[in-house]
């Protein structure tokens, strides 16, 4: 299970680099923080149950944050 968190760290790192190249610096920093989180968690050698609890907590926090962002911050519209 610890390897799956390293895989998540790899992919969030790839997204961080792509956002940085696309000059989306806020998103890049957000994904860089997620990369550091997943990488740090992967080396703790926790039980599989604890990894599942952490992943469930991560998904819960993500959904609450994403819902709050889309409801109160995001300005709907297309283009610049």
3-class DSSP state of 29 = helix
CA 1, CA 48: separation in Å to the nearest integer?
6
CB atoms within 10 A of CB 36: 14
Tokens of 12: 């969030």
Nearest to 8 by CA among 71, 55, 78: 55
On the question of pLDDT at 54 being above 70, the answer is yes
In 3-state terms the chain splits into helix, strand, coil percentages (rounded to 5) of 80, 0, 20
CB atoms within 10 A of CB 37: 16
State residue 42's pLDDT score.
94
On the question of pLDDT at 30 being above 70, the answer is yes
> Which pTM value belongs to this model?
0.82
């Amino acid at each position: 299970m610890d390897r799956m968190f390293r895989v998540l760290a790899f992919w969030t790192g790839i997204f961080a680099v792509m956002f940085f190249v696309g000059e989306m610096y806020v998103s890049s920093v957000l994904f860089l923080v997620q990369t550091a989180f997943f990488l740090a968690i992967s080396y703790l050698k926790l039980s599989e149950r604890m990894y599942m609890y952490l992943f469930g907590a991560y998904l819960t926090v993500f959904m609450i944050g994403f819902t709050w962002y889309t409801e109160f911050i995001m300005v709907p519209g297309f283009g610049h």
